[in-house]
Amino acid sequence: MASQFPPSSLDVHDYTLDNEPEGLSWDTFRCVYELVRNGNAAFQENRMEEAINFYSRANSIKSGDPIILGNRSAAYIRISQFFMHRTSSSSECSPLSGLDPTTLAELGLKDAERLVELQSNSIRSYLLMAYALILLEKYEKARDVILSGLQVDPFSISLRTSLQNLERVSSSSTGRSTHGQPERNDDFDCTLCLKLLHEPVTTPCGHSFCRSCLFQSMDCGNRCPLCRTVLFISPRTCSISVTLKNIIQKNFPEEYVEREQEHDGLINLGVDTLPLFVMDVVIPCQRFPLNIFEPRYRLMVRRIMEGNHRMGMVIIDSSTGSLAEFACEVEITECEPLPDGRFYIEIESRRRFRIIRSWDQDGYRVAEVEWMQDIMPPEGTRDRDILQELTNNAAESARSYVGRAKEAARHDQRRLERLASVEAMMPSLRDPERFSFWLATLSNRRPSERLDLLHIRDTTERIRRGLIFLRQEEQGCRIQ
Ligand SMILES: [Zn+2]
Ligand SMILES: [Zn+2]
């Protein structure tokens, strides 16, 4: 019914770099500028949750800024609108970390109200507020807001169009009509998720399930979830029922697209959101194999491998009993599914992050993260030169350490291979921060010590510790 409303022209605004930083330092303003720019990019690509995230971060630095408030309001309205117009059968899925469309519209309204207070002469403020009110079905109030806007600019085309749309929407809302498509029964629903079949797989016993639902169920045993027949199929070899999929797609095109987006939402989480493997402290520049056998992690790995191959690796902090605050992103560089459903994977650790918040998703943790970097002396300064020199010298020590270790291990093939693998991970010396982590991977340290290395933001200090570790390693003749 109201699918034309708010119009798709509802858009976000950009900063220009010559905007006055107003009491902010140039660096802080630069940071706000970047956050808004990233938010807008996410908005344009319809990744609203991510966009909201960026705007909220910008807002926490520069609160009461009309551009940030307006853009976030637009994003809330868009995502609320999206979830309100889904069909009823898929509405059990909770959008945006549990927020329902009404709450989202209310958040959009709150930002728009602030915006009207701040900029009572801007048409956009009134439009946003009216859109939010319409989503909340407060048509009378929406009308008042549009009329107030028309007092500011009686010739505004967008306000006039909105008024016309509003009349149409509010008159049709009395007799809620459906999308004009025949109601469907549940013949094409998956008995596991009770939603329209997505990528349907038909088992030899003749039952059909969503591909992801079937394999999630099979993580706990190789039987058909419906009739308990033992199944000899695996995600790798089993194919989708093409005919069934075509029939579903042809008959319920909109709903199928929604199911695809829903599925996609579990795989592509956005740049600052990561699924977590809770195991140990990993620091950047490590490479090692791992066996994945727990059902919840099998599901997680399947989703990761459909997406960007990345996850976070984190330890439970023994002092608090909850997730440690700092952790590291790893990339799955190789993934071999075993016939019994387990995975053998190889991973390389990349960047460290701080966990802002985390939540449960189908049995595993997902976290919103903030990427961490050392505080570097700027390029071209004396301090930077000193750090570079320290890095170069430390690299020399590391090379001779590896040389001696290889010599000592010349009859131990496995140890030699491990040393070669560590050596191959050595980053460029032009990146002292990465190098400092790599240096620390040469020795075996306790989890708490590795956690400290993630925590500190001083490259010099990390290199210093790495060198001490190396010395202790040699004195203790400990083998990595
Ligand atoms: Zn399903
Ligand atoms: Zn069956």
Which tens digit of pLDDT belongs to each residue from 138-155?
888 888 888 888 887 777
CA of 242 relative to ligand 2 center, distance in Å: 19
One domain for residues 323 and 335: yes
Q: Which of 146-160, 167-181, 393-407 has the lowest mean pLDDT?
A: 167-181
Domain closes at, from 137, 172, 207 = 172
Q: How far is the CA of 194 from the centre of ligand 1 (A)?
A: 6
b/e per residue, 332-366, with b = 16+ CB within 10 A?
Answer: beebebeeebbbebebbbbbbbebeebeebeebbb
Ligand nearest to the backbone CA of 197: 1
Last residue of a domain, one of 320, 350, 371: 371
Distance in angstroms (rounded) separating the CA atoms of residues 198 and 242: 11
Q: How many angstroms is it from 223 CA to the middle of ligand 2?
A: 8
Residue 227 has pLDDT above 70, yes or no: yes
Q: Are residues 326 and 237 in the same domain?
A: no
77 C-alpha to ligand 1 centroid (Å): 29
The confidence score (pLDDT) of residue 436 equals 97
**Ligand 1: centre distance to CA 357 (Å):** 28
231 and 286 share one domain: no
Q: Distance between CA atoms of 332 and 263, rounded to whole angstroms?
A: 21
Q: Give the separation between CA 317 and CA 448, rounded to whole angstroms.
A: 9
Question: Residue 222 CA: which ligand is closest?
Answer: 2
Indicate whether 151 and 10 sit together in one domain: yes
Per-residue pLDDT at 208 exceeds 70: yes
Confidence of residue 398 (pLDDT cuts 50, 70, 90): very high
Q: For position 48, what pLDDT does the model report?
A: 86
CA atoms within 13 A on the CB side of 54: 24
Using the mean position of ligand 1's atoms as its centre, give its distance from the Cα of residue 259 in Å: 10
Q: How far away, in angstroms, is 230 Cα from ligand 2 center?
A: 9
Q: Residue 32 domain-assigned?
A: yes
pLDDT of residue 178: 43
| Nearest ligand for residue 199 CA | 1
Last residue of a domain, one of 205, 235, 265: 265
- Contact partners, residue 405, CB within 8 Å, separation at least 6: 419, 479, 480
Q: What is the pLDDT of residue 403?
A: 93
Expressed in angstroms and rounded, the spacing between residue 249 Cα and the centre of ligand 1 is: 15
- In a shared domain, residues 111 and 234: no
Q: How far is the centre of ligand 2, averaged over its atoms, from the C-alpha of 205 (Å)?
A: 5
- Which of 319-323, 385-389, 395-399, 424-428 is predicted with the least confidence, judged by mean pLDDT? 319-323
Return the ligand number nearest the Cα of 202.
Answer: 2
pLDDT of residue 155: 73
274 & 338 share domain: yes
Q: How confident is the model at residue 274 (pLDDT cuts 50, 70, 90)?
A: very high
Question: Is residue 40 in a domain?
Answer: yes
> Of all helices (H) and strands (E), which one includes residue 402?
helix 382-408
Q: What is the CATH number of the domain that holds 307?
A: 2.30.130.40
Q: How far apart are CA 107 and CA 105, in angstroms?
A: 5
Rg (CA), the chain: 28
pLDDT: is 426 or 28 the higher one?
426
Q: What is the CATH number of the domain that holds 245?
A: 3.30.40.10
Calculate how far, in angstroms, residue 197's C-alpha sits from the geometric centre of ligand 1.
Answer: 6
Query: Ligand 1: distance of its center to the CA of 108 in Å?
Result: 32
Identify the three-state secondary structure at position 251: helix
Mean pLDDT, residues 358-377 taken together: 92
Task: Say if 377 falls within a structural domain.
Answer: no
- pLDDT, average across residues 131-139: 88
CATH number of domain containing 65: 1.25.40.10
Please state, rounded to an integer, the average pLDDT across all residues of the chain: 86
Residue 177 pLDDT grade (very low, low, confident, very high; cuts 50, 70, 90)? very low
Q: Is residue 134 part of a domain?
A: yes
**Of residues 458 and 181, which shows the higher confidence score?**
458
| Residue-range definition of the domain harbouring residue 468 | 382-475
User: What token pair was written down for 95?
Assistant: 């959008």
Is residue 31 located within the same domain as residue 156? Answer: yes
Ligand 1 centroid to residue 124 C-alpha, Å: 42
- Do 69 and 152 belong to one domain? yes
pLDDT at site 452:
95
Give a yes or no: residue 181 inside a domain: no
The answer to whether position 239 is within a domain reads: yes
Does the residue 293 lie in any domain?
Answer: yes
Beta strands in 295-384 (DSSP E): 310-314, 326-337, 343-361, 364-371
One domain for residues 23 and 124 = yes
Q: How many domains does the chain have?
A: 4
pLDDT band with cut points at 50, 70 and 90 for residue 480: very low
Across 218-232, average pLDDT? 86
What is the percent of the chain where pLDDT is above 70?
90
Does a structural domain hold residue 222? Answer: yes
The pLDDT tens digits for 70-80 are: 999 999 888 88
Q: What's the whole-number mean pLDDT along residues 21-29?
A: 77
- Between the ranges 88-102, 123-137, 379-393, where is the mean pLDDT highest? 379-393
Question: Is residue 255 domain-shared with residue 273, that is, in the same domain?
Answer: no
Residue 153 sits in the same domain as residue 276: no
Examine the domain organization and report whether 261 and 278 are in the same domain. no
Residue 174 has pLDDT above 80, yes or no: no
Question: Which stretch of DSSP H or E encloses residue 326?
Answer: strand 326-337
